């Protein structure tokens, strides 16, 4: 039997600290979700465990963390389902040369630089239980991700959603998300197969068959949700329960196929009907508990695994600086140069690059996967968490510095996808 008193106390403390730090961050014009991420780290060995080890050991005894982990995974599955739900394939096409070039470059440039950095980090922060290929592919994936939900949140809070830059940034982030998760699914499959958990061909074949079945079979059946919604005028409890069941079922199948729970949840969300009202209702019903209660548990669990104290000595901080520099140069630099070459002005191009450099909680999700499957060490995990925080925290001040809101809003919107973007960006906003 779980120790319910300990679990409830943990949840209470996590929610309280997450709300307080989140609100403090909001006061300094940072997204609340970034504050919640920081709260998770403060509750871990980086602060609480370091300053008050007895309190930390009493509050988060190792034996009780399994329940916290399980709850955080449920939250993450629902969150990834919501992220998939908010993605609309229509946004991914017909957005002109700037979006195509920038989105592809914003994946490939950081991926390439992450892989090259792996040459330096592998002998220093990894070991021979992980092959260089898997390590490099993971580093590339982790460097190339953009936090679509946090980006949408920043743009909404600054009223930039309909600006040219905002539109482009959300489009590119959506492309990045889909591509990034596909690459990561491949990497996780390779790594798990190399550990001998499953056969590589069974994994890859199974994954391809599953995705094809979902795209061309299950997707059509899911139109029932939209029809039911239109008939009744609301999303019934039965429909909602069935939807959650499908997300959990899909997560379970991808886990059994050797990919990861989260890919199944994301895929199920991505193939759900995309009519605006349906998405709005479904998101509204699901996101409150997910975002307000379960996600902070994930942040806390990530924080308990993050130990800034591990990053000690000039050598470790040099690695951390190298990771941060490569992450920024690859994502911000790559996106900026691509947008500039596609015809944008320097200031606009730099703004787009800054927005694309937002990694936020999607980076945390990926890093936790990496730590779970053993491709990164605790030290590298902590370094990458620092990088995720730095790149996300830098977005708002850098954007205000390079291109004030007034100038961004004055840019003409050349891409006619406003309504779709408005719909998608009102979804999946972690913490309001």
Partner 1 sequence: MVKKLVLAYSFLVGLPLLVVLGTLQAGRRLAGPPAISGDWTVNDPAAWSICAKTAAATPALFSISQSGADLEIALNDRDRTIIAGRLEGSRFSTRGSSAESIVRMEGNVAGSRGRRSLVGWVSFSGGAPCGLTLVRAQ
Q: Which residues bind partner 1 (CB under 8 A)?
A: 97, 101, 104-105, 108-109, 111-113, 115-116, 118-119, 122-130, 132-133, 135-137, 140, 310, 334, 337-338, 341-343, 377-380
Whichever of 130 and 270 has its CB closer to partner 1, that residue is: 130
Rounding to the nearest 10 degrees, give the CA dihedral for residues 379, 384, 387, 393: -110
Taking the complex as a whole, the smallest distance from the CB of residue 103 to partner 1 amounts, in Å, to 10
Distances (CA, A) of 183 to 116, 127, 244, 432: 17, 23, 26, 30
| 13: nearest Cα among 48, 45, 53 | 48
| Residue closer to partner 1 (CB basis): 109 or 267 | 109
Which residue number, 126 or 395, has a Cβ lying nearer to partner 1? Answer: 126
Instruction: Name the residue nearer to partner 1 (CB basis): 127 or 405.
Output: 127
Q: Which value, to the nearest 10 degrees, does the dihedral of the CA atoms of residues 97, 99, 102, 105 take?
A: -80
- Rounded to a whole number of angstroms, the minimum distance from the CB of residue 116 to partner 1 is 5
CA distance linking residue 377 with residue 125, whole number of Å: 7
> What's phi and psi for 342, nearest 5 deg?
-85, 0
Nearer to partner 1 by C-beta: 293 or 316? 316
Residue 132 beta carbon to partner 1: minimum distance, rounded to whole angstroms: 4
Written in H, E and C, the secondary structure of 172-218 is: HHHHHHHHHHHHHHHHHHHHHHHCCCCCHHHHHHHHHHHHHHHHHHH
* Identity of the residue, 173 or 247, whose beta carbon is nearer to partner 1 in the bound complex: 173
What is the nearest approach in angstroms of partner 1 to the Cβ of residue 215? 25
The minimum distance between CB 386 and partner 1, in angstroms, equals 14
Least Å distance, CB 385 to partner 1, is: 14
For the bound state, the minimum distance from the C-beta of residue 315 to partner 1, rounded and expressed in Å, comes to: 9
Burial of 34 (0-12, 13-18, 19+ CB in 10 A): buried
Residue tagged 């195509």 (tokens) = 100
Render 315-359 in DSSP notation, one character per residue. HHHHHHHHHHHHHHIIIIIHHHHHHHHTT--HHHHHHHHHHHT--
Nearer to partner 1, 127 or 414 (CB): 127
């Amino acid at each position: 039997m779980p120790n319910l008193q300990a679990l409830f106390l943990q949840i209470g403390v996590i929610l309280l600290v997450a709300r307080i730090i989140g609100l403090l961050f909001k006061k300094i014009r940072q997204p609340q979700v970034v504050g919640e991420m920081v709260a998770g780290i403060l509750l871990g060995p980086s602060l609480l465990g370091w300053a008050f080890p007895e309190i930390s050991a009493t509050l988060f005894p190792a034996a009780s963390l399994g329940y916290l982990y399980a709850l955080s995974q449920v939250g993450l599955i629902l969150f990834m389902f919501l992220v998939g739900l908010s993605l609309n394939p229509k946004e991914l096409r017909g957005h002109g040369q700037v979006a195509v070039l920038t989105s592809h470059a914003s994946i490939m440039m950081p991926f390439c630089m992450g892989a090259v950095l792996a040459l330096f980090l592998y002998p220093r922060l990894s070991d021979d239980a992980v092959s260089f290929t898997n390590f490099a592919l993971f580093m590339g994936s982790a460097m190339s991700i953009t936090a679509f939900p946090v980006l949408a949140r920043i743009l909404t809070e600054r009223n930039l959603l309909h600006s040219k830059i905002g539109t482009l940034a959300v489009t590119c982030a959506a492309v990045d998300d889909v591509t990034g998760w596909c690459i990561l699914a491949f990497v996780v499959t390779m790594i798990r197969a190399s550990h001998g958990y499953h056969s590589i061909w069974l994994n890859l074949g199974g994954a391809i068959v599953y995705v094809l079945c979902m795209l061309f079979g299950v997707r059509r059946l899911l139109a029932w949700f939209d029809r039911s919604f239109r008939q009744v005028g609301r999303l019934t409890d039965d429909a909602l329960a069935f939807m959650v069941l499908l997300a959990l079922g899909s997560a379970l199948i991808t886990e059994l196929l050797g990919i990861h729970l989260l890919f199944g949840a994301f895929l199920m969300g991505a193939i759900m009907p995309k009519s605006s009202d349906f998405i709005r209702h479904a998101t509204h019903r699901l996101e409150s508990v997910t975002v307000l209660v379960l996600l902070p548990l994930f942040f806390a669990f990530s924080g308990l695994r993050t130990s800034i104290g591990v990053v000690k000595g000039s050598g470790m901080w040099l690695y951390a600086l190298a990771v941060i520099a490569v992450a920024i140069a690859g994502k911000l630099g790559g996106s900026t140069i691509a947008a500039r070459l596609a015809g944008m002005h320097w200031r606009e191009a730099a703004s787009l690059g800054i927005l694309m450099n937002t990694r936020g909680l999607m980076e945390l999700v990926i890093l936790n996967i990496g730590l779970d499957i053993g491709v990164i060490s605790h030290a590298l995990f902590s370094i990458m968490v620092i990088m995720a925080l730095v790149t996300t925290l830098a977005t708002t001040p850098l954007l205000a510095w390079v291109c004030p809101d007034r100038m961004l809003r004055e840019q003409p919107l050349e891409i006619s996808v406003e309504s779709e973007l408005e719909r998608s960006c009102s979804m999946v906003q972690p913490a309001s």
